[in-house]
Amino acid sequence: MRRVTAFLLAGLLLILLTPAYAQQPTFAGKTVTIIVGYAPGGGYDRMARMVAKYLPKYLAGNPTVIVQNLPGANSIIAANNVYNVAKPDGLTIGAFNRNLVLGQLVKVEGMRFDMTKFAWIGSTSNETTVLAIRSDLPYRTVADLVKADPALFIGATGPGANTYDFPLLLRAFLKLNLKIISGYPSSSDIMLAIERKELDGRAGSYSSIKPFIDRGLVRPIMRARASVPAIARLPVDEDLAPSETARAVMALRSVPEVIGRPFVAPPGTPPELVRAIREAFDKVTKDREFLAEAAAAGFDIEFVNGDEALKITLGVLTAPPDVVRIFQQFFKFE
Amino acid sequence: MLEALLQGLVAVLQWNALSFMLIGVAVGFWVGLLPGLGGATTLALLLPFVYNMAPVQAFAFLLGMHSVTATTGDITSILFGIPGEGTTAASILDGHAMAKKGEAGRALGASLMSSLIGALVGALALALAIPVVRPLVLTFGSPELFMVAILGIASIASLSGRGPRGMVRGFLAGCLGLFFSAVGSDPQAANLRYTFGTLYLWEGLGLVPVLVGFFAIPEIVDLAVRGTSIAGKASVGRISGVLEGVKDVFRHFWLTIRCSLVGTWIGVLPGLGGAVAQWMAYAHAVQSAKDATYRERFGKGDVRGVIGPGAANNSKEGGDLIPTVAFGVPGSSSMAILLGGFFLVGLVPGPDMLTKHLSVTFSMVWTIILANIITVAASFAFLNRLAGLTAIRASLLIPFLLLLVFLGAYTNNNNIGDLVVMLSFGMLGYFMVRYRWPRAPLVLGLVLGDIAERYLWISTARYGTSWLGRPAVLILIFLTVLAAASPFIQERRSRRKEALRAA
Amino acid sequence: MRLKPEALFSLAIIGAAAWALLATLDWPIKTALYPRVIGVPLLLLAVVEFVLSVKGVPAETGQQTMDFALSVDVEPRVAVQRTITIFVWIGGFFLAIVLLGFAVSIPLFVFAYLKGQAKERWLLTLVLVGLAWFIFDALFVDLLHLPFSQGLLFRLLR
């Protein structure tokens, strides 16, 4: 009871002292729904559930926050739904595939949304791609991989995934001697194939490869643009690009990873609501308990604000046509 | 090692771990019973709760839940012909046929007992595999995985009817299943195949809506036509029936053990998916029938068709855990989610689990054993009441069965498309039953087609054609020939027997 | 000549297989190989099955399938009528869900079936409708948070 009174008093003080917050919207008694574009269990879902757990603390009125899953077509179905069906009342938040913007760039059929028109909340963490090879191989640098003989067998799931696209560009532009073996059902099947020496290495998100680097099975050789402190010193693919075009094509693939766990609201969500949610996200990502839990789950949290995320998205969609044309030869949204 | 084994047991028996296990078991009990609501999804929903738990408690909770879903999933499959889990559809063929003969009690008794033995074998395999786990998992490369899929597909022959016409229909159904697995974006070039311009079909046909429609709709239609209860005029067996079922398991003890081993083995192999084990075990039960007249009884209420999948879908749990624990590489979608649980409680799966944290690993073995003993004991207490459900009149049951079928299918993707798939396969299933086409080969094709396609491409890209000479591949080719030939051998045996009788 | 329904069924499979094979013609080999490898035997087997059912191969050899057989102890005319009725109910339930959404359709369907088809007593009907609603609302909506979209009608009216 005392806590409630204190809370109310604090709220009153806030209103009296800061006129700017006078219209601070309240979510009291309401339910905020985070719609995830994947089935329960994956990275996007786990991030959304963690955010949902801490979000009520930081939204005015302490609403209930629930997670709903709308899987299918790599979260296009969920994005279509949030864009066209959900009401812009601040009670719906979408958590989608970071590569939707690339899908929009190469004009995938069935996308009924414009990534730049969503009300962007931001991204809670980046998701960087690394290339890692078996530790018992003699190669240590990018130059070694160019000279490697015979070619290294690199496992991949398929086009559209970073396990495939990243080594594909490395082979095409940096002339790394790689042979991509594609079709593995999941990245963990690739890991097992590396363990039994069917494969020599793989590309993939750093967070999923990290346990195997720590265990000494594989060693990271290079990374893409997005980064976390532990691998900041690895060479970056774009820096080694032989031409401006190659660099731009690699950048297109990498940039969405900077906003690796994007959260958006339906277009037309009132700005004051978007601001309130953004602030809540910002506070959640600084909450000590949240950070501890995220670390345990293997996420490196780094909040990118909605404005910044939107700018990055616009940047991707305004890439020069000749770059997009080359990019399209390598990339398939799947 | 022995010390760790005991430490594991003691840790699980601590009151807080034990109570978490009981909660998990209670949840898993219902998750298994309800169609559509699967073990993997539930694991994902429970995952956030384990943060702050001690490792043994967390696994008692998560594994306790997950390892019993297959046990109670069989109950729904047997009683109503609706697969309670994606992994328990094979129990319908003979289990539900028994229920319609008034033998629900016997079928449930056999299923529960075989589930228990399966779980014990799987757990034992997990415990025994610990010293030899590396060679065990690592000898199976992509070429071997491809051949396992082919071995499964060759079993279609034994799941077909007798005679040339039966074979034609069996293989036709099998091809149809293999073909349905092509729907969606292809694994090599990521082009869309047969999606009819919908987004829904990008990721292929969902196994749950397919199985729910394919098996449940024909049964519901038939129930409506008969207009009686499921058991019809047959009197529903009393407790004696249940005991009979338990005895059946011991009568066919070696079959139970063999099918448990099949399940464990499929579990150990990564990427084959939970739905494969039960069908391989079912096919094995059919193949081990002495001759063609014995074989013919399957699908019409043969208790061996209940025991096989019942044992396999529980024993795969222990097998599934082996690559997860030893390498940190999950062998199925459930295990991928469980892997998240490892990290949340501060454990890194991999070699450490076999040395430093061995007692935690053994606590998992004990969790599987205890959770299944508890579930089976609890189920036995309710068994007569459960079997009694088959005496309820059709008119009351049908709306609820349809409710479960519709909601169960919908939980796959939460999309109306799930219902369309469920209904389409319901129609297909109905016509197949009506015109006497076997349904099992179609499911076998559907669950194995994708694996076969992927690993053939991978094997060829990686090894050219040299993979055909690998010793394990050669053994599997031999087994495949054996599996494909088994119905013909059975046919010859029964002809010889008839000839003897005539002489 | 009138075809038996059995032959029509295999004819439908032939059609589907032929269409599926034709569809692979515009695809790159990596996409098309698997469906072609499967599609060809599928088509051939379907043709064989069609020929066999037109020729009317004796039932005994064709009959032995390892699967359950539809009940035969109901008079055929009644059986056909009941089969059509249940399919109409199933289709109706689906249509109701599309048009009205799950939340409305579930109690509506259970009520309509129990009262209209099964002619159950009022009390029992209402209790069971309540039970169905409870299962749906408590378990699937409140506990599992499944997203149930609104019916098409409501969306059009909005």
SS3 at position A116: coil
Helix, strand, coil distribution of chain B in percent, nearest 5: 80, 0, 20
CA distance B325 to chain A (A): 12
B297 → chain C, closest CA residue? C66
Q: How far is CA B327 from CA A191, A286, B348, B351, in A?
A: 9, 33, 10, 7
Mean pLDDT for B107-120 is 95
Q: Which of A195, A293, A297 sits opposite B138 (nearest CB)?
A: A195
Q: Which residues of C touch A85 (CB under 8 A)?
A: 149, 155
Give the one of A199, A298, A334 whose C-beta lies nearest to B190's C-beta: A334
Residue A218: φ, ψ to 5°: -125, 165
Q: Which residue has the tokens 């071997």?
A: B144
Give DSSP secondary structure letters for B284-304. HHHHTSSSHHHHTTTTSS-TH
Q: Residues of A with CB below 8 A from C149's CB? A: 85
B48 and A192 within 8 Å at the Cβ level: the answer is no
Structure tokens at A91: 């009670």
Torsions phi, psi for A14 (to 5 deg): -60, -45
Q: Tell the burial category of C54 from Cβ atoms under 10 Å away from its Cβ (0-12, 13-18, 19+).
A: middle
Six-digit token pair at B495? 């002809």
* Minimal C-alpha gap between B219 and chain C (Å): 9
Residues of chain B numbered 423-482 and touching chain C (CB < 8 Å): 423, 426, 431-440, 449, 453, 457
Confidence grade of residue B235 (pLDDT, cut at 50, 70, 90): low
The per-residue DSSP string of chain C comes to -PPPHHHHHHHHHHHHHHHHHHHGGGS-HHHHHHHHHHHHHHHHHHHHHHHHHHHT--HHHHH--SS-----SS-HHHHHHHHHHHHHHHHHHHHHHHHHBHHHHHHHHHHHIIIIIS---HHHHHHHHHHHHHIIIIIIIIIT----PBPHHHHHH-
Contact A180, A167 (CB under 8 A): yes
Q: What is the rounded CA–CA span in Å between residue B141 and residue B203?
A: 25
Residue C146 touches partner A, C-beta closer than 8 Å: yes
pLDDT at B185: 92
Whether B161 sits inside 8 A of C66 (CB atoms) is yes
Q: A192 near B323, Cβ under 8 Å? A: yes
Q: Give the one of B137, B323, B343 whose C-beta lies nearest to A297's C-beta.
A: B343
The pLDDT assigned to B239 comes to: 55
Residue A6's pLDDT is 54
* Cβ-based contacts of A334 with chain B (< 8 Å): 185, 190
Phi–psi pair at C142, nearest 5 degrees: -75, -45
- Kindly write down the DSSP assignment for every residue of B323-376, as one continuous string: HHHHHS--SSHHHHHHHHHHHHTT---SGGGGTTTHHHHHHHHHHHHHHHHHHH
> Degrees (nearest 5) of the Cα angle B181, B450, B488?
85
Phi-psi region of A73 (alpha: psi -120 to 50; beta: other; left: phi over 0): left
Q: What is the pLDDT of residue A1?
A: 45
Binning pLDDT at 50, 70 and 90, where does residue A156 land? Answer: very high
Question: In the predicted model, what is the mean pLDDT of chain C?
Answer: 90
B188 vs A68, A73, A158: nearest CB: A158
Angle formed by the axes of helices B104-129 and B55-80, to 10°?
Answer: 150
The CB density around residue B267, as the number of other CB atoms within 10 Å, is: 29
Residues B320-351: tens digit of each pLDDT: 898 888 888 887 888 989 988 998 898 888 88
Q: Specify the higher pLDDT residue, A171 or B242.
A: A171
| Four-CA torsion B105, B111, B113, B119, nearest 10 degrees | -160
CB B92 within 8 A of CB B77: yes
Q: Which residues of C are less than 8 Å from A69 in CB distance?
A: 147
Give me the helices (H) in B181-252, please: 207-211, 217-226, 239-251
Q: Which of C121, C123, C71, C65 lies closest to B229 in space, CA to CA?
A: C71
DSSP A82-105: HHHTS-SSS-EEEE--TTHHHHHH
Tokens describing residue B252: 């066919």
Candidates C22, C30, C34: best to mutate against B (most CBs of B within 10 A) is C34
Start-to-end CA span in chain A (Å)? 53
Query: Which letter does DSSP use for residue A272 in this model?
Result: H
Do the Cβ atoms of A36 and A68 come closer than 8 Å? yes
Q: Hey, how many other C-beta atoms are within 10 angstroms of the C-beta on A233?
A: 8
Of B166, B406, B416, the CB nearest to C64: B166
pTM of model > 0.90: yes
What's the CA gap between B389 and C53, in Å, rounded? 40
Residue A127, classed as helix, strand or coil, is coil
A332–B189 C-beta distance less than 8 A: yes
Residues in chain A within 8 Å Cβ distance of B270: 188-189, 192
Rounded mean pLDDT of chain B? 91
Q: Measured between alpha carbons, how far is B98 from A134 in angstroms, rounded to an integer?
A: 54
CB B278 within 8 A of CB B87: yes
CA distances from C103 to B228, C108, C137 (A): 30, 9, 8
Using DSSP's 3-state secondary structure scheme, residue A112 falls into coil
**What single-letter amino acid sits at B227?**
G
C5 to chain B: closest CA residue = B435
- C-alpha to C-alpha distance for A71 and A36, rounded to whole angstroms: 7
Residue C156 has pLDDT above 70, yes or no: yes
Tell me the C-alpha distance between A129 and B423, whole Å.
42
Lowest mean pLDDT among A236-245, A288-297, B209-218, C144-153: C144-153
Strands B184-185 and B192-193: what pairing?
antiparallel
3 state SS of A35: strand
Mean pLDDT computed over B375-383: 90
Q: Stretch A145-149: mean pLDDT, rounded?
A: 94
Q: How confident is the model at residue B86 (pLDDT cuts 50, 70, 90)?
A: confident
Burial, C92: exposed, middle or buried (Cβ in 10 Å; 0-12, 13-18, 19+)?
middle
The CA distance from B467 to A124, in Å, is 45
Give the model confidence (pLDDT) of B169-185 as tens digits: 999 999 999 999 999 99
Confidence of residue A169 (pLDDT cuts 50, 70, 90): very high
The mean-pLDDT minimum among A91-105, A187-201, B91-105, B233-247 falls in B233-247
A41 and B337 within 8 Å at the Cβ level: the answer is: yes
Chain C within 8 Å of B225 (Cβ-Cβ)? yes
Percent of chain B with pLDDT over 70: 99
C-beta atoms of C147 and A85 within 8 A: no
Cα dihedral sign, B366-B370-B376-B380: positive
Question: Does residue C18 have a pLDDT over 90?
Answer: yes
Do the Cβ atoms of C146 and A68 come within 8 Å? yes
| Confidence tier at A94 by pLDDT (50, 70, 90) | very high
Spell out the alpha helix ranges (H) of B130-204.
133-138, 142-154, 163-180
Average pLDDT estimate for A237-253:
95
pLDDT in tens, B263-319: 999 998 887 877 899 999 999 999 988 888 888 889 889 999 999 999 999 999 899
Mean pLDDT of A208-236: 93
Which residue, A119, A120, A91, is CA-closest to A25? Answer: A91
- Taking an 8 Å cut-off on Cβ atoms, the answer to whether B340 and A50 are in contact is no
CB contact under 8 A, A35 and C149: no
Nearest by CB to A191, which of B51, B141, B329? Answer: B329
Considering only CB atoms, which chain B residues are within 8 Å of C141? none
Dihedrals phi, psi of A87, to nearest 5 degrees = -75, 140
Chain C contact for B177 (CB, 8 A cutoff)? no
**Cross-chain residue pair B413–A39, CB shorter than 8 Å:** yes
Residues of B in contact with C120 (CB under 8 A): 395-396
For A183, which of B188, B323, B333 is closest by C-beta distance?
A: B188
Closest CA to B260 of B231, B281, B234: B281
Chain B, nearest residue to C113 by Cα: B399
Residue A21 has pLDDT above 50, yes or no: no
> Chain A to chain B, count of Cβ pairs less than 8 Å apart?
146
